[in-house]
Amino acid sequence: MPQTRIPTAAQCPAPAGASGPARGLRIRDVHAWAVSFPVPAEHSVRLGVGRAVKRDAVVVRVRTECGLIGYGESHHCRAHTTVAHFINTALADLLRGRDAGDTAGAWEHVYARQLVAMGLGTGCVVAYSGVDMALWDVRGKAAGLPLYRLLGGGGKPVPAYAGGVALGWQAPDALADEALRHVAAGYRAVKLRLGDTPARDLARVAAVRRAVGQDVAILADANTAYSLQDARTVMPGLDQLDVGWLEEPFAPQDTRAYATARAYGTVPFAAGENHYTRFEFARLVDEAVVAHLQPDLSKAGGITETLRIAALGSARRLPVHLHTSMTGLNMAASIHVLSALDNAGYFEADVSRGNRFRDEMVSEPFRLDEQGCVRPCEAPGIGVQVDEAFIQAHPPIEGPAYV
């Protein structure tokens, strides 16, 4: 991985007239790239949202006047070029000249000037999420501290499950074989993709349970594909197979379906990757239909907002298991945040084959230990190096990522 020399806070002179926390941290520019690579047939996985044919991502860079650089990731939301363009125009204009260390102030500035005034809602939240992550990366580098230290954490280990764009709609025996490979690699939990038909879903879960035994946790994700009747059919079987949670059986806004289906079994519901900001999570928490919260740092409003969401969960004793996005930036940042939370649950480890955003675009974002846990990077900020040459060599590919 090419090394980029980044100045330290001590090498950053204060802008003329600046003092206090703004010394050397005024934002000079914000830039986002939409990047893509095709998924070869041998690495393609079929899920409830379709068969993966390419990977898209949005990478954000924030540079201060003294040359400190922070990186973040905004979720592509199947519109990666649009998300990147919005960052490069509206958000860049809003943030240029502001103090990069004032993450809370920047969030409120964007919220007041763009989210409320212009009504762009989710699109703005997703785009800003990557900017916010990059600002926290700058803060860590300016302080010379890894992100988890900046957040008040001690670098505690975080249990990981094998997930990502993997463990999809295969034949039961093939899926069991894949799960066994991940268990052999050290994972103590795996997440299976449901949302096919109830019968086929249960056959896959049963095959994996037979293969891995009772000591490995099985989690399940239906990708919003279930009807109430599907849930009524599936949930008793998931209970018998000791599944740890059923993730997103219904559309994120359909809290009535979640409440109705609660009577169909005891397997708890998980949701959050398609919820945005503390305001949507407050409703999710208040209605008490979900037992596991899954915000995504690249979608829910960045690190700043996810900390607020985690606090909502902590007040109700709800664990937070961050949903991870496409690149090693999100994965590494997620481990930092989880390592600093009092109500942290699992880290979602992307175990998909051939994820070049994880393996080539950044330095190693995580490593599994013998206990099936991960720890945050120790370098300042998020702690991974970004290869901008890789980004330049992988321009956006238009069209759907899943077919």
pLDDT at 23: 56
Query: What percent of the chain clears pLDDT 70, i.e. is strictly above it?
Result: 94
Question: Tokens representing 45?
Answer: 């996985």
Name the H helices within 253-301: 255-261, 277-286
Sign of torsion over alpha carbons 367, 326, 388, 32 = negative
To 10 degrees, the CA torsion angle through 130, 34, 281, 366? -70
- Average pLDDT for residues 157-166, to the nearest whole number? 96
- 83-111 exposure pattern, b = at least 16 Cβ within 10 A, e = fewer: bbebbbebbbebbeebbbbbbeebbeebb
pLDDT at residue 19 in the model: 46
Q: Which two tokens stand for residue 74?
A: 């905004």
Stretch among 41-50, 141-150, 178-187, 297-306 having the lowest mean pLDDT = 41-50
Q: Which pLDDT belongs to residue 116?
A: 74
Domains in the chain: ranges and CATH: 9-145 (3.30.390.10), 149-382 (3.20.20.120)
Is 244's pLDDT higher than 80?
Answer: yes
Interval 65-80 mean pLDDT? 96
Specify the residue for token string 């003329």: 16
pTM summary value? 0.94
Strand-pairing partners, residue 32, are 60
Q: At 124, phi and psi to the nearest 5?
A: -70, -40
Quote the Cα angle for 273-324-263, to 5°: 40
**Summary mean pLDDT of the chain:** 93
Distance, CA of 205 to CA of 186 (rounded, Å): 20
Phi then psi dihedrals of residue 333, to 5 deg: -65, -35
- Strand, coil or helix: what is 125? helix
Structure tokens at 47: 């899920």
Higher pLDDT, 19 or 38: 38
pLDDT tens by residue, 340-371: 999 999 999 999 999 999 999 999 999 999 99
Q: Is 123:75 a contact under the CB 8 Å cutoff? A: no
Model confidence pLDDT, tens digit, residues 260-275: 999 999 999 999 999 9
Phi-psi region of 82 (alpha: psi -120 to 50; beta: other; left: phi over 0): alpha
> Taking the alpha carbons of 256, 259, 265, 270 in that order, is the dihedral positive or negative?
positive
Averaged over 113-120, what is the pLDDT?
Answer: 75
Q: What is the pLDDT of residue 5?
A: 45
Label residue 11 by pLDDT band (50, 70, 90).
Answer: low
Exposure string for 258-295, b = 16+ CB within 10 A, e = fewer: beebbebbebebbbbbbbbbbebbeebbeeebbbbbbb
pLDDT of residue 22: 52
Q: Quick one: tokens of 48?
A: 């409830």
**Banded model confidence at residue 14, pLDDT cuts 50, 70, 90:** very low
